[in-house]
Amino acid sequence: MKGRRPRPLDDGDSGEVRVSGHLSWAKLKKRSSVKINRQLSGTIIPMAIISNCTASIIKDAALALKEGHLVAFPTETVYGLGADATNEKAVARIYEVKGRPKDHPLIVHISSMELLDKWASEIPDYAIKIARQFWPGPMTLVLPRTTIAEDFITGGQDTVAIRVPSHALANQLLKEFESLGGYGIAAPSANRFGKVSPTNSEAVEEELGQFLLESDQILDGGQSQIGIESTIIDCTGNTPIVLRPGSVTIEIIENLFGEKIGESDSRRRDIKIPGSFDTHYSPNAHVLLNGITSAGDGFIALEEIPTPTGAIRLASPKDNLDYAKVLYSALRLADSKGIKTVSVVTPVQQGIGLAINNRLVKASKNL
């Protein structure tokens, strides 16, 4: 077992606990009758993380999704908590498990651009151009919805958010799911609402393990390579507008079109965009941006910036790409060490630095 920690007893079920370890879904099912006396053990063994995801494990996971269970899976940005995007009951469980407000819309994941018009209507040429350039990858398009995108996905809005992830495991899972007749997997970041997105399977277990059922799954696909959530682009007007900055940067998109594009949410104030709530991407620790570091504070900065005396170094990224990749793990490390304040030297507001600053500013509002 890697990265497991005992979790305190919770109340309200039979005393039967989940068997953890790197077992296949099939083996897990077989072993699910194993009982451990909670009174004796005093702890619950956490939700099983399924590692070494072979083709047959991925098939089983797709089947579990089709049957209405939840499957957390890796993407290149962050880990997602997946459910069949056409199954209202399964999607309702995403909201329950995350503790997320019901009107906050979800991203639907599909395996390729070919399935885009199942979910989206009136797709402008510029959106096709963006999709061709950046899919599969860390980019989400917001488009007018078709009838398949029901209110329980869009939060009642007339638009739907769609993404084709590039992580091999995510893509394989989507293909298997679609081969079973599925149309798309709804997957928000696999964290409790307002908290830090998970970038590895242990962080998913830590965030959601106690809210998941034995029939749900957490697939392990290693560390997310990008580390912050996808760029969200509103494609409902005459020009694209970036609603959430990410690693597909505004500069990169402008290069594609050879002209300036919008970068605010001002076009559609009715959209529930990420961070429209006060706390988002927030650890328990207070995040202090470019302030005075005190002894005992956690400290995050590029590697060339020395650690202030008495501070606890949490990450030393070598550049901004690395900064994005390690940021959320560093914030989690602060919480696991019981650190009260994390002092952060923010990167320059350029390229992916813009997205990092966007997340850090929101994380810092958890006073």
Q: Which residues bind Mg ion (CB under 5 A)?
A: 189
Shortest distance in whole angstroms from residue 186 CB to ligand TXA: 9
Q: With binding defined as CB under 6 A, does residue 271 bind ligand TXA? A: yes
x-marked contacts with ligand TXA along 147-186 as a string, rule CB under 6 A = -------x--x-xxx-x-----------------------
What gap in Å lies between CA 171 and CA 272, rounded to an integer?
A: 27
* Cβ distance to Mg ion smaller for residue 189 or 217: 189
User: Residue 274 CB, nearest distance to Mg ion (Å)?
Assistant: 6
Q: Does 245 bind ligand TXA (CB under 6 A)?
A: no
Closest CB 98 distance from ligand TXA, rounded Å: 8
**Torsion-angle region of residue 109: left (phi > 0), alpha (psi -120 to 50) or beta?**
beta
3-state secondary structure of 299: strand
Closest CA to 283 of 169, 202, 225, 367: 367
Residue 118 near residue 184, CB atoms below 8 Å: yes
Nearer to ligand TXA, 23 or 49 (CB): 49
Nearer to Mg ion, 189 or 230 (CB): 189
Contact 190, 106 (CB under 8 A): no
CB of 10 to ligand TXA, least distance (A): 25
Binding-site size, ligand TXA (CB under 6 A) = 27
Residue 245 near residue 358 (C-beta atoms within 8 A): yes
* Region binding ligand TXA by CB under 6 A among candidate stretches 43-51, 117-125, 269-277, 301-309: 269-277
Interatomic CA distance for residues 262 and 243, integer angstroms: 9
66's contact among ligand TXA, Mg ion, none, with CB below 5 to 8 A by partner kind, is none
- Report the partner that residue 65 touches, choosing among Mg ion, ligand TXA, none (CB closer than 5 to 8 A by kind): none
Distance set, CA 279 to CA 284, 287, 310 (Å): 11, 11, 28
Name the residue whose CB lies closest to Mg ion. 189
C-alpha distances in Å from residue 9, one per residue of 37, 41, 99, 213, 259: 11, 10, 20, 15, 57
The residues, any chain, with a CB within 8 Å of residue 248's CB and separated by 6 or more, are: 134, 137, 138, 139, 230, 231
State the nearest-atom distance from the C-beta of 343 to Mg ion, in Å.
24
- Nearest approach, Cβ of 312 to ligand TXA (angstroms)? 29
HEC string for 335-354: HHCCCCEEEECCCCCCCHHH
- Choose among 113, 121, 165: nearest CA to 143: 121
**Of these partners, Mg ion, ligand TXA, none, which one is at the site of residue 75 (CB under 5 to 8 Å by kind)?**
ligand TXA
| 247 binds ligand TXA per the rule CB under 6 A | no
For 314-326, give the DSSP string.
EE--SSHHHHHHH
Nearer to ligand TXA (CB atom), residue 140 or residue 293: 140
Task: For the beta carbon of residue 72, count every other beta carbon within 10 angstroms.
Answer: 29
Where does this chain bind ligand TXA (CB under 6 A)? 75, 77-78, 80, 104-107, 140, 142, 154, 157, 159-161, 163, 187-189, 229-230, 232, 243, 271-274
